[in-house]
Amino acid sequence: MSTVTRTREGEVAAFRNVSKSYGRVSAVSGLDLVLRPGETVALLGPNGAGKSSTLDLLLGLREPDHGSVSLFGAGPRAAIEAGRVGAMLQSGGLMNDVKVRELVRFACAVHPRGHRAEQVLSDAGITELADRRVDRLSGGQEQRVRFALAIAGANDLIVLDEPTTGMDVSVRQAFWATMRAQAEAGRTVLFATHYLEEADSIADRVLVLHKGRLIADGTSAEIKAKAGARRIGFELHPADGPFEESVLRALPGTVGLDVTGPAGGVRTVRIRTTDADAGVAGLYRAGLYPRGLEVTGLGLEQAFLTITGEKDARDTDTAEESAR
C-alpha cells in the first residue's frame, strides 16, 4: 500500500478554539489541538469528557458552535470526500445480508483511493472470515470488519473509536500490530479507548479530555509525570496494628486509596500520594507497621485517575451521552 500524501503545512488536523454544546451541556470547550503526520495519538477521558463529540467534529458529523475544525487545510467533509480519512466508529452499522468479502470489495470500489479487497482482508486479519455472512459474526469479528472498511483506501488519517471493544487479547494484539504498520507508513492514527494499557504501549502521544476541556497533552511518560503522584504499596497483618481506612486517607498527600483483603485478615494497601516521604512517615506515626513496603511511580491508568479526579478509568461514554 502507498504511503501518505503530506500537507505542506505539516498539519493533518487542527481544532482552533472549538466549542460544542448540546442544550445547556458543554461537550467540548475551547479545544485547541493540532495532529501531525505519522503520529499515533490516544484520546482518553472519563464518561462525558467529550471524546465522541471531538471525533464527530473532526469527521464533519457535527458542526462546532464556535471555532473551526480543519483536515489537511480544508473542511472535514472535503478531506473525507477526497478519500484522505478512514473511520471506525462504535455506531457504524454493517450490511447484514452480504458476505464479508462482498462488503470489503464494495468499500474498496467506492473509495476514491481504494485498495485491492484481498489485500485489505489480509491487512485487517479477516481473510478467514471472508466467506462468512456479516450477520453471523461475533461482536469482536464485527469490529475487525469495521476496521477493514476503515483501511479500504489509501487514507492519510485513520480515526478509531473504541476499536478493540469485544476483541479477545490475541486479536487485540494482532490489531495493534496492524495499526503500527499503518503508522510506520506515515499515516496519522487517532484512537479513543478505555483500555489505558493500549494507550500506554501503542500511542506516542496521549490526550486527556475532562469535562470538555483538554487537560493533558504529551507522551505517556509526560502524562505520568504531570500527575505528580507516586504509589505506596504494602501489606498490613492483624498483628501490625489496628486497621482504619480513615487513618490511611488522612495521611499527608493521599489522593487515592485501594484496599483489598478480608476484614480481620491480611490487607493489601495501595495509596496514591503526592508526597510519598510524608505518607510513609505518617504510617509509622500512626502506629502501623507495613510489610513489603514499596514506593513506585504511577502507571498511566493511575496517573489518569489522579489528573481527572475520577474513581474508575473504564467508565463508558453514554444531552448526547452525557455530553458525549
> pLDDT value at position 174?
84
Mean pLDDT is lowest, of 3-7, 248-252, 254-258, for 3-7
Q: Are 238 and 315 in contact (CB under 8 A)?
A: no
Same domain, 266 and 161: no
52 lies in some domain: yes
Q: Are 64 and 51 in contact (CB under 8 A)?
A: no
From 225, 250, 280, give the residue that closes a domain: 225
Number of residues that this document lists for the chain:
324
Same domain, 208 and 238: no
pLDDT cut 70: percent of the chain above it: 92
Same domain, 216 and 262: no
User: Which stretch of DSSP H or E encloses residue 225?
Assistant: helix 220-227
The predicted model gives 212-233 an average pLDDT of: 88
Same domain, 210 and 234: no
What's the grid cell of residue 28?
A: 467540548
Same domain, 102 and 176: yes
Strand order in 205-210's β-sheet? 85-88, 157-161, 188-192, 40-44, 205-210, 213-218
5 lies in some domain: no
| Average pLDDT taken over every residue of the chain | 87
Same domain, 160 and 68: yes
65 lies in some domain: yes
Same domain, 76 and 183: yes
168 lies in some domain: yes
Same domain, 54 and 173: yes
What is the number of domains present in the chain? 2
211 lies in some domain: yes
DSSP 3-state percent helix, strand, coil across the chain (nearest 5): 35, 30, 40
Mean pLDDT is lowest, of 89-93, 216-220, 233-237, 251-255, for 89-93
Q: What pairing do the DSSP bridges indicate for beta strands 85-88 and 157-161?
A: parallel
CATH code where residue 247 lies: 3.30.70.100
Same domain, 96 and 49: yes
> pLDDT value at position 213?
94
pLDDT cut 90: percent of the chain above it: 56
| Sequence-separated (6 or more) residues with CB below 8 Å from residue 32 | 15, 16, 17, 18, 214
202 lies in some domain: yes
Same domain, 214 and 247: no
> pLDDT value at position 23?
92
DSSP string, 126-141: -GGGTTSBGGG--HHH
The predicted model gives 27-51 an average pLDDT of: 93
CATH code where residue 46 lies: 3.40.50.300
Domain residues for the domain of 40 are 13-225
Same domain, 288 and 269: yes
Q: How does pLDDT run across 124-169, given as a tens digit for each residue?
A: 989 999 999 999 998 888 989 999 999 999 899 999 998 888 888 8
> pLDDT value at position 9?
56
For residue 2, with 0-12 CB atoms within 10 Å meaning exposed, 13-18 middle and 19 or more buried, which class applies?
Answer: exposed
8 lies in some domain: no
pLDDT band at 42 (very low <50, low <70, confident <90, very high): very high
> pLDDT value at position 120?
94
Q: How does pLDDT run across 77-117, given as a tens digit for each residue?
A: 999 999 999 999 876 678 888 999 999 999 999 999 999 99
